[in-house]
Amino acid sequence: MNFALSEDQQQLRDVFARFCDEQIRPRASAMDEAQEFPQELFNKLAEIGCFGLRYPESLGGVGCDLLTFCLAIREVARGSLSLAVSASMQAVMGTHFLHEFGNADIRERLLKPAIRGEKIGTICITEPDTGSDLSAIATSAQKSPEGYRITGQKTWITSAPIADFFTVFARTGAEKRLTIFLVERDFPGLKVGRKIEKMGVRASPTSEVFFDDCLVPDDHRLGDVGEGEDALRRVLSDVRILTGALALGVAQAALDDAQQYAAQRKAFGRSINRFQAIQTHLAEMGTELEAATHLVHYAAWLRDNEQPHRKEAAMAKLFATERAVAICDKATRILGSYGFAMEFAAQRYLRDIRFTLYGGGTSEILKLLIAKEMTI
């Protein structure tokens, strides 16, 4: 297998790297402190094609593979994980099922504008008593002459306070199997609840969402009745690989800042990067980041080449996120007391990176999945 990036991939990565350095990094700390969604930067990401990277040209997209998308979103995360999380939701999970199952009207009114950044989408899976256990989802959709009536509550919904449409998983029929529905913002019975205050990714708004006898037309059911869980599992590996790429971006930023600080900070008459204690930290950080990068790229390559990749996607997400947490922690240690100061970005990396531990499956769940795949 050939992991060498193509010229097109390198060029696209460079476009997003420049955008990160020129547009995102100078504003990242202010975005975090204000805890406000960066609408202007979100719009600029749309202008450079971020939200259409995974969709065909016929819809206004680019039609690139998963590895290419990972290269781009890693650069966004290197600047701000908050922005990268919102962008990932918009470019993948918030719009995926509209592309897979939506009719011509839905694609024209919602998907195409979302690719252009004119409308914002999100996905509603997690509930107050439901995380990794999909079988515990309690939100229900009852068939009625007008369509379906959804009742239930979702939580930890990324972009919910600003979303124009919601992809909702609810139980239907006598067998209570999961079905996917598209709920638009103005549908009666939908209410966006309180904003969840988080210690990290604070510029990416997250909230609860309530459905109180929310009427959804028949043509807003996405896919067949009862096919929701299977459809979700088909894209979970993509989400895990993507989450690994987000972690790589934050880890890269932490390593870059640590190296720069170690080169400038002097103690006992020389730069601290000349001391073995600091060198061992940097060596470990660099090695862990390189290994994580290879795992993420390998899993994406398998996915793009239609090879079995469920185990590798879980491994990539597990290793990349856990190592990224360790890298961000080491960065704060290299900065010493400045790693504890709000004026330096190291503390933001350490707060933000923990977000990647949860989405797409916790480390504990991933370990069980990997172990099961290894015994088959």
* CB burial string 188-224: b at 16+ within 10 A, e below: eebebeeeeebebbbbbbbbbbbbeebbbeeebbbbe
Token pair for 107:
């694609």
Reported in sequence order, the residue ranges of 86-236 that DSSP labels E, i.e. its strands, are 121-124, 140-144, 147-158, 165-172, 177-184, 190-195, 206-216, 221-222
Q: Please state, rounded to an integer, the average pLDDT across all residues of the chain.
A: 96
**Which pair of structure tokens corresponds to residue 264?**
């400038």
Q: pLDDT at position 85, please?
A: 98
Question: Beta 165-172 vs 177-184: how paired, if at all?
Answer: antiparallel
> Is 250 in contact with 216 (CB distance < 8 Å)?
no
| Dist. CA 208–CA 137, nearest whole Å | 15
Instruction: Give per-residue pLDDT as tens, 20-37.
Output: 999 999 999 999 999 999
- Please check the confidence at residue 376 and state whether its pLDDT lies above 90: no
Q: Which two tokens stand for residue 276?
A: 């073995």
Q: Tens digit of pLDDT for each residue in 123-164?
A: 999 999 887 788 889 999 999 999 999 999 999 999 999 999
Q: What is the pLDDT of residues 262-303, one digit of tens each?
A: 999 999 999 999 999 999 999 999 999 999 999 999 999 999
Residue 209 has which token pair? 């969402």
Is the Cα dihedral 30, 31, 35, 38 positive or negative? positive
